[in-house]
Amino acid sequence: MGFLDSVPLPRSAYLHIPFCHRRCFYCDFAVVPLGDKASGANGPGSTAIKSYLNLLHREIAVVPDGPPLATVYIGGGTPSLLAPAQISSLLKHLENRFGFQDGVEITLEIDPASFSLEALNGFVEAGATRLSLGGQSFDDEILERLGRRHCRADLLEACQWLNDFYRSGWISTWSLDLIQGAPGQTLHFWEKELNQAINTYAPHLAIYDLSIEPGTVFAWRQRLGELELLDDDLAADIMRCTSSVLGSKGFSRYEISNYALPGHTSRHNRVYWSGSGWWGFGQGATSAPWGQRFSRPRTREGYRTWIEEQEMHGLHPSLEVLTASPMGFDDQLIVGLRRREGIDFFAMARRWGWDEEKCEIYITSFCKFMKDLFEQGCLKREGSRFKLSEPKGMELSNQTLIQMLLWWDSLPQDAVAPPSHVKLRRKDCDLGLLVD
């Protein structure tokens, strides 16, 4: 096996747009709130946006060559704060740099009430083929409790536009995000939310659990005892309800939080979970073009300084094929297990450099370590493949993933050390082969 067989080439790119109108009460992302009136072209906040886009273009210009891209994801933050011309310019730059494969999937995250119908047309003309709408809830009271800027009417209007675009063939698909487990939700209420989502005809739904992150308004309210979170039983009932209602409507749960009608899975997200490489650009963005993950600074000044270093002193080792480490085996297991199809443990272990004997010893030790989770029906084995069960294993995924990390930490050093053969192959590899 040659190097090109062992390390998938990066055919995906993520661009981070860190601006939002305001910070939602549960959000701890690397975002910069610019106020409710901000807009990319010439409104309030446009100077900050333009200066950031300048940095983003500088970062795109500095990375090494790679093969044409199959997927691009512009996420945030609120990318729909940008003007269509700004999105177009970023996409043109990426295309000039790497090229786009035929049928490239270009996802743009959009936030209800942050764009007009005219802007939506502009985003699609700029090249977006898939739009991902951050709806979160159809209920005005819940939206207010979450600190969102949009209301139910904004969301319904945006869904209608997206459905029209999809039916007319102007975009290939679209997705709607909802948050389950928000304060004040009841089972009956959540079922109503799901049915409203289904009635929008969104072919892809991303359903995220509310989690309380340090430094957020919700964390602060929780400390003051002012946040009434759902009890564990209700949260579990809500999760089960999601899986059963969406399953009955033909949605397949292809990842812990993602449901799609046939033909509508996100190709870009599958890249993250398959262990393939991707480029990442922008403040706080994570990349892993050759396996090794690297996260950029989360502040503007930190990001600017980091770009200047790349320009003046050479690229970060993770961005160069000859110097990047492989993705950790534990990371591969964790991201792989999130998918419906789970992981082919034996194939992954052999790629990591384990021989037959090590595979036998360590995979047996894994099965022993995870015994309780197998017995509880959270984890399943089908030959060399291991996967979370649906719905129970998917619901209790954190428990399984933590136990898996504990197992990894219990292994001897010679099992967990990165495979030396990858480094050796890298020394011999012909960089000319990397552009196909």
Options 6, 8, 9, 23; binder of ligand SF4; rule CB under 6 A? 23
Using the rule CB under 6 A, give the single segment among 55-63, 73-81, 222-230, 339-347 that binds ligand SF4: 73-81
Can residue 176 be called a binding residue for ligand SF4 (CB under 6 A)?
no
- Of 97, 192, 208, 74, which is closest to residue 139 (Cα–Cα)? 192
Number of Cβ within a 10 Å radius of residue 383: 8
> Closest approach of Cβ 229 to ligand SF4, in Å?
18
Rounded Cα distance between 326 and 422, Å, is 7
Which CB, 112 or 342, lies closer to ligand SF4? 112
Q: Is 373 helix (H, G, I), strand (E, B) or coil?
A: helix
Options 40, 134, 203, 353; binder of ligand SF4; rule CB under 6 A? 134
Can residue 135 be called a binding residue for ligand SF4 (CB under 6 A)?
no
Q: Is 343 helix (H, G, I), strand (E, B) or coil?
A: strand
Can residue 78 be called a binding residue for ligand SF4 (CB under 6 A)?
yes
How many Cα atoms are found within 13 Å in the side-chain-facing hemisphere of 274? 16
Whole-Å CA distances, 116 to 62, 175, 184: 34, 18, 31
Q: Show the tokens assigned to 279.
A: 């480029």
β-strand 130-136 against 173-180: which pairing, if any?
parallel
Options 40, 45, 66, 76; binder of ligand SF4; rule CB under 6 A? 76
Cβ–Cβ under 8 Å, residues 130 and 172: yes
Which CB, 170 or 208, lies closer to ligand SF4? 208
Total site size for ligand SF4, rule CB under 6 A = 11
Can residue 111 be called a binding residue for ligand SF4 (CB under 6 A)?
yes
Rounded Cα distance between 408 and 405, Å, is 5
Which CB, 213 or 382, lies closer to ligand SF4? 213
> Closest approach of Cβ 77 to ligand SF4, in Å?
5
Which CB, 218 or 259, lies closer to ligand SF4? 218
> Closest approach of Cβ 410 to ligand SF4, in Å?
37
Q: Show the tokens assigned to 2.
A: 């040659």
Can residue 158 be called a binding residue for ligand SF4 (CB under 6 A)?
no
Report residue 74: phi and psi, to 5°: -105, 110
> Closest approach of Cβ 28 to ligand SF4, in Å?
8
> What residues line the site for ligand SF4 (CB under 6 A)?
20, 23-24, 27, 29, 31, 76-78, 111, 134
